[in-house]
Amino acid sequence: MTEDTEWDAYAATFDEEPDHGLRDPAVRAAWARLLLPLMPAAPARVADLGCGTGSLSVLLAAGGHHVRGLDQSAAMLAIATRKAEGLPAEFRQGDASAPPYPAASCDVVLARHVLWALPDPDGALARWTALLAPGGRLVLVEGHWCTGAGLPAAECEALVRRHRQDAIVTPLTDPALWGRTVDDERYLLVS
């Protein structure tokens, strides 16, 4: 059973943003250079939480990883499923803040521009870190945008450190990642 969400309305145009659709080969290559070296040896088990139209899921699956994408939007997931045809990726509708996966079943938990939007980011991080197998990695791409929305890097790091010992924050200022120059705070956090 699927349930319509507010994000369904954005599905048809979501990939028009360069960093959403990764349609531009230069933007796609920049994300591959950023994310693929962070993954354990293939085939790692990756949960892409709040996967949207699956662009990062597809990128990682094409790199040989088994990806489970989770999103609330059935319309977004329909696009993700089409993109991932023939790749080791599967998609499921659900709440990214409470993933329906067993504890210790993931080598990597990935979320891009998700944590900031959740009503209880600390609770979500507790559930996300419980998904990680021993030695697993939490990979977050977040930001604090010029609109005032988002999560400052220092705040995100403090939240992650409540659940994990390490949290390495790297600013993401390379225009190749976004398809343009950005002047707000965008970052990668790896734990």
pLDDT above 90 for 184: yes
Q: Give the mean pLDDT of 60-82.
A: 97
- Regarding the domain delimited by 6-190, which CATH topology (the fold level of the hierarchy) does it fall under? Rossmann fold (3.40.50)
Tell which residue, 158, 109, 97, has the closest CA to residue 135. Answer: 109
Q: Is the pLDDT of residue 1 over 50?
A: no
Query: How does the average pLDDT of the chain come out, rounded?
Result: 95
Q: Is the pLDDT of residue 96 over 50?
A: yes
Instruction: Say how many C-beta atoms besides its own lie within 10 A of residue 85's C-beta.
Output: 8
pLDDT of residue 49: 98
Q: Is the pLDDT of residue 142 over 50?
A: yes
Amino acid (one-letter) located at 57: S
* Statement: residue 186 has pLDDT above 90: yes
pLDDT confidence bin for 183, thresholds 50/70/90: very high
- Delimit the domains of the chain by residue range: 6-190
The pLDDT tens digits for 4-52 are 578 899 899 999 999 999 999 999 999 999 999 999 999 999 999 999 9
SS (H, E, C) 156-190: HHHHHHCCCCCCEEEECCCHHHHCCCCCCEEEEEE
Amino acid identity of residue 162, one-letter, is R
Helix spans in 84-144 (H): 121-131
**Mean pLDDT confidence for 80-98:** 97
Average pLDDT over residues 70-83: 97
> What sign has the CA pseudo-torsion 80, 173, 18, 9?
positive
Residue 4: predicted pLDDT: 58
